[in-house]
Structure 1
C-alpha cells in the first residue's frame, strides 16, 4: 500500500522502511499529525486488520490491538528500531496477553504485566465446579497419622518426649482454666492412654464418649466429660477435621502450638472453663 506525502514521495507503510519514514514524518509534523493525517488513519486501519487474529485469540476486539499498536508507534524506540513492525507486533502481543490476564484476574492491564501478579490463577466461584470445595481443595484435606508408622507409635525417644510434653501442657491448660489439678491430670492421662491404644482420634472419641465407667471414676458430669473429650481430641464431625476445633488440644500441641496460643483461643477457653467441675464432687 503506497501513499504520497506532501513532497510527492511514496510511503509504503506495510514495510518496515516505509513505516519508519511515516513515523518520523508524523513525529516531525507535530502532536496533531495523527489526528489529521489521512495516511495515519490508513495505517491504523491496516494495524487493526493485521492484528485482528491475534486480538481474537486473546478474546479482544481488533481495535483494542490497534490501540496498543498506536501507543507503541509513537515511541522513539519504534522509530529508531531496525524493524519497526517487529517492535509493534511484539508489543501488541504482550499487551493482548496482559489484557487477557487482567480480565481474568479482575485487575488492571498494568498490574497483569507484573510477574508476581500474573502468576496467580483466575478467580473461581465456588459454584463453578460440580463438586464441593472441600472435596478437591488440599487445604481442606486432613487425615490422622497412620498408627502403623513407627513415629505415631512412639517408637523414638523424641516422639515419646513430645507426647509427654503435650500431655503435661494439656494438664496445665485445664488446671489454669479452673479444673481441679487431680481431675485434670487423671482425665488427660486417661484420654492419652486410650488414644495410644486405639490410634485414631475420632475412634478414640466415640469409644470414650460411651465409657461411663471412666467418667464415674473421675466423678465428673456428662457435660464436663464431653467438654474434656472435645477439647483434647477435637470435634468428631468430619466437617471440622481441617479446622482448629477439629484438631484438638493434643494435636495442636504436638504440631508446635505453644500453650500461650491455646489460651488466646476464646472458644476453647470458654468451653473448658464453663465445664470445669468443682473440687472433689460431681457438678
Structure 2
C-alpha cells in the first residue's frame, strides 16, 4: 500500500481512503451528497491523486498515462458495486486492470475500447504494416504457399509419398505445441502445475478417442473416475472441460467460447491473445482448485 496521510478538510470527513473501510465510507458520503460532491470535496480530489499514484505502474505496463487509470477508477468508484463491496479497493483494482487491458487492445486493433472488450474482436492480432516485416509477405504467409505438386513435376509419385510423411509430422508437432500451450495457460491462472498437465493431457487423449469435441465433452463430464483421480471438485472439472473443449451450446459454436482453448490454439491464436480474453481468464482462474482441495 502506498503511504498517504489524510486529514479532515472542508465539509468532508476524515476518511482514511487508503483502507477498504475508509474508502467505502467516503464513497457512501460522496454519493449521499450528490453529483457535485466529487467536484468540490477536497478529500475526493486527494482520493483521485492517490488512485493515479496507486495505478501508475499498471497504467505504464499497458502503455497508458496514470490519469487514464485514475479515470477508470473514478468510473467504478461511482457505482453501487464499489460502494457496497466488502473489499472496495479490490473491486476498483479489478475494474482498472480490465479497462487498461481493453485500452491497450483497442490501440493495437485500431478500434474502440468497447469493441476491444468483446472476444469477437480481441481474438485478432494487432494491426501492422506490411513494411514492418523484414521479409516479403509471400515468404512466410501460408496463404501464398503451394503444397500440391506441380503438374509438370517429373517426380509426382515421389513427392506424393513425401507429403504423406511430412504433413502428419507437422500436424503432430502443432497439436503437441497446442497441448503444451494449454497446460501453460491453465498453470499461469493458478492451477497446480501437476494437476494442470494431468488434466489437459487426459482431456486430449479422450478427445482423440472420441473424434469430436462435443462427444469428448459429454464423455468426460460424466467421467467421475477420472475426476476423482485428478482430485478435482465437480465445478472445477466442468469449467475446465468447457474452457478446453468449448461450450457445446449450439448458439455459440462459432464464437471463441464455443471453440475452446485447444481449437483456438490449433487455428493460430497465441497465449497472449488467450490471456486478453477476460471471460476465459476469469473462468479458468475461478475454477482453480484450492491447495487443500474442496470447492471454491
Task: Give the TM-score normalised by the residue count of structure 1.
Answer: 0.51
Number of matched residues? 152
Instruction: Tell me which residue corresponds to 1:113.
Output: 117
Is 1:147–2:156 an aligned residue pair? yes
Q: Indicate conservation of the 8 Å contact 2:56/2:65, yes or no.
A: yes
The CA deviation string for residues 177-205 of structure 1, in whole angstroms up to 9 with x for no partner, is xxxxxxxxxxxxxxxxxxxxxxxxxxxxx
Deviation at 1:62, TM superposition (A): 0.3
2:95 maps to 1:82 = no
Q: Which residue of 2 aligns with 1:219?
A: none
Q: How far apart are the structure 2 equivalents of 1:126 and 1:6?
A: 58
Q: Indicate which of 14, 17, 21 corresponds to 1:17.
A: 21
Deviations 1:192-242 (A, max 9, x none): xxxxxxxxxxxxxxxxxxxxxxxxxxxxxxxxxxxxxxxxxxxxxxxxxxx
Partner Cα separation in structure 1 for residue 7 and residue 87 of structure 2: 20
Structure 1 alignment gaps of length 5 or more:
153-283
Q: What is the CA RMSD across the aligned residues, in angstroms?
A: 2.0
Q: 1:9 to 1:33 in 2, by over 3 A?
A: closer
In the alignment, does 2:67 pair up with 1:63? yes
For the structure 1 residues 150 and 59, does the alpha-carbon distance in structure 2 shift closer, same or farther, using more than 3 Å as the test?
closer
**Aligned-partner SS, 1:11:** coil
State the distance in 1 between where 2:115 and 2:12 align. Answer: 45
**Cα distance change, pair 9–107 in 1 and its aligned pair in 2 (3 A):** closer
For residues 93-120 of structure 1, the C-alpha deviation after alignment (integer angstroms, 9 at most, x for no partner) is: 0000000000000001110000111110
Change (3 A) 1:147 1:59: same
3-state SS of the aligned residue for 1:4? coil
Alignment of 1:1-283 (within 5 A): 1-4=5-8, 10-145=14-149, 147-148=156-157
Q: Contact 1:5–1:11 (CA<8 Å) still a contact in 2?
A: no
